[in-house]
Homo-oligomer: A and B are copies of this chain.
Amino acid sequence: MNTINVRIEDKFWEDYSALVRDTVIPYQWQALNDRVEGAEPSYAIRNFRIAAGLEEGEFGGWVFQDSDLYKWLEAVAYTLRSQPDPKLEKIADEAIELIGQAQREDGYVNTYFTIKEPGREWTNLYDEHELYCAGHLIEAAVAYAEATGKRRLLDIACRFADLIDRLFGLDSGQKQGYCGHQEIELALVKLYYATGEQRYLKLSRYFIDQRGSLPSYFEEEWERRGRKGPWSDNKPNLEIYQSHLPVREQTTAVGHSVRAVYMYTAMADLARLTQDNSLKAACERLWDNTTRKQMYITGGVGSTHRGEAFTFDYDLPNDTVYAETCASIGLIFWARRMLQLEAKGEYADIMERALYNNVLGSMSRDGKHFFYVNPLEVWPEANKRNPDKQHVKPVRQAWFGCSCCPPNVARLLSSLNDYIYDVSTEENEIHVHLYIGSHLQFTSADGCDVSLRQRSELPWQGKVEFNVSLNENHAGGTAFALLLRIPNWHQSGQPVLRINGEVQVYDVKDGYAQINRIWNDGDVVEWLIPLETKLIAANPQIRANAGKVAIQRGPLVYCVEEADNGVLLSSLSLTEESSLIEREASDLLGGCIVVEGDARRENTSGWLANELYKPLAAEPKKVRFTAIPYYLWGNREAGEMSVWLRNS
């Protein structure tokens, strides 16, 4: 199963890829070079220069600071793949040279250990992120080689991977450890694809299989370190790093959410590539638990900032939420792999939900400000003055000391063409997972070169059209199955399928409309998905949302903001669903559809500022409210925001 030759042609998404190319990547390059005024310095390039012997100085930033450069390079690679840019490629090539200069003779590359703790390499896998950084190096290298054909970074990565392969494993003399922050596992699968080297796949599998075995490597390592750590001398918390059990025995998503979803991504890859059914079953169990018990409606995961972690089923507070941007991106990675493992619409549904809401919402419209935490309820005064909510920011920040999220957004948005289709040559099937205008080229089973152009009016309207073109030699048409995802947007009816103007009956297979036919040049497929504004309730087990509703329209979750509705959003409660109307607001936030409706608003004028409690005498006023797409929140002045609204 391969996804090949997809180019995005879609106003909504091209605006984002242009933003990544023209703003995010240049801006992040400035940030990596500590040239963004008012933002915390990154130190990333400087660390490499010091490690390479080109500059004197101390290591700066986090122990995993190298990964920011790698993620940036990966985003650059995807951008170059879509649109060559010799100037940008030159900058990237120079950065790659710098990495090469910082690499040691034996292949090791990590600026933290080279500068700050030489000789202590691999002594603290639990805390120090060496394998994590190696993973991001590998991902960047694979992407850069694919995009540019240049092997320099891939060679650097392979040399490092080869060193790791020699050092880690079950043979005597090898370290039987694994990383405190999963990442290299999924990267090694990519390296296997890029090089065809089985041992990279095996090494990935070793890391996954070894994790959680007894006695715990992390505990033994902690003993060897004299029961000390850089942040805490406590005994390792195995659950927070998903190393409390062998992965096949894990049933619920626990611990640090980014680590978790990165690990599950690798597990799904390995389950497919090694046809490992017990691993597949574990992926499915963990997927169900994550997305059906522990996920915010925006596709965010992680309910607490303490450990940036999952908590437990149905515990989804809106205001003390974590929902880290990287965790949603990792959820998308995982969903993508689950689709490759088995094409089920629910995986794509979640991928779409996380993409359109949590991930898009994490970046400002100017591409220069980012959320690390993506709340569903914001009261700026509380975010400033209640320490339990200070991790939630009411406005996006320029750059973070721990800046994992911005480059992660960039690499996802610039590689989005990899997420739209799956083309299975064996099955002669094309799955359409996402409705993003694009041009797909593939070869069908009988050798016909097919061009499929998708035009999509999402996220605003549910109209999608496909145009089929065949190469000249196939005048008689070519057979393949087209499978169109039926979104779970809770609409009232099924999508209508028309081919060349005629309505078609279709079979549904695992959430996809399946169209088997002989396709001819010029065939037109219309796919009309009912797209309605709906009030969504949460499972009553989610105590935080009791008595509340959210507004969803197609893939977009909505929210109310102070900018449109005044302060004290908690005093609003919705009334009639039938009163909801949609309005095109072409001048608002770059153009969007807002939802308006009737609400009651508590009459605050009946209260003195110095009255806290008094007998109930509710006389709510009737008001109108305006909701905007969640992904656009926080682009005006700082103010209150809420996704869930009381329903009366």
Contacts and interface: CB of A to CB of B under 8 A. Distances in A.
A568 B541 CA distance: 7
A561 to B, nearest CB: 15
Interface string A304-318: 111101011001010
Interface stretch (A82-90, A380-388, A495-503): A380-388
B540 A604 contact: yes
B292 A612 contact: yes
B315 A550 contact: no
A614 B546 contact: no
A602 interface: yes
Most B Cβ at <10 Å: residue of A288, A311, A543, A571: A543
Contacts of A382: 311-312, 315
Interface residues of A, number: 60
A386 B303 contact: yes
Given A379-B543, A388-B388, A607-B539, A577 B292 contact: no
Contacts of A379: 543
Contacts of A288: 610
A643 B117 CA distance: 54
A135 to B, nearest CB: 28
A612 B290 CA distance: 11
A295 interface: yes
Interface string A113-156: 00000000000000000000000000000000000000000000
Interface in A562-594: 568, 570-571, 573, 577
A536 B648 contact: no
A612 B538 contact: yes
A490 interface: yes
A304 B387 CA distance: 7
A292 B609 CA distance: 8
A309 B385 CA distance: 11
B570 A297 contact: no
A538 to B, nearest CB: 6
Of A549, A568, A570, the most chain B CB neighbours within 10 A belong to A570
Given A315-B386, A570-B546, A646-B547, A538 B613 contact: yes
B546 A292 contact: no
A542 interface: yes
Nearest to A569: B543
Contacts of A615: 490, 534-537
Nearest to A574: B616
Contacts of A570: 540, 543, 546-547
Contact of A312 (B307, B381, B536): B381
A611 B292 contact: yes
A647 interface: yes
Contacts of A536: 613-616
A382 B544 CA distance: 12
A324 to B, nearest CB: 15
A537 B386 contact: no
A296 to B, nearest CB: 9
B547 A573 contact: yes
A475 interface: no
A293 interface: yes
Given A381-B315, A536-B614, A306 B543 contact: no
A518 interface: no
A388 B617 CA distance: 34
A648 B600 CA distance: 12
Given A388-B304, A537-B618, A571 B542 contact: no
A414 interface: no
A388 to B, nearest CB: 5
Contact of A613 (B311, B381, B539, B547): B539
A537 to B, nearest CB: 4
A320 interface: yes
A602 B540 contact: yes
Contact of A295 (B297, B540, B541, B612): B612
A252 to B, nearest CB: 11
A539 B306 contact: no
Contacts of A602: 540, 546
A548 to B, nearest CB: 9
Given A312-B385, A315-B386, A539-B612, 18 more contacts: A303-B386, A304-B387, A309-B387, A311-B382, A311-B386, A315-B381, A317-B388, A534-B615, A536-B615, A537-B618, A538-B612, A539-B607, A540-B604, A541-B568, A541-B607, A549-B616, A577-B616, A618-B647
Ranked 5 nearest A-B pairs via Cβ: A546-B570, A306-B387, A292-B610, A543-B570, A535-B616
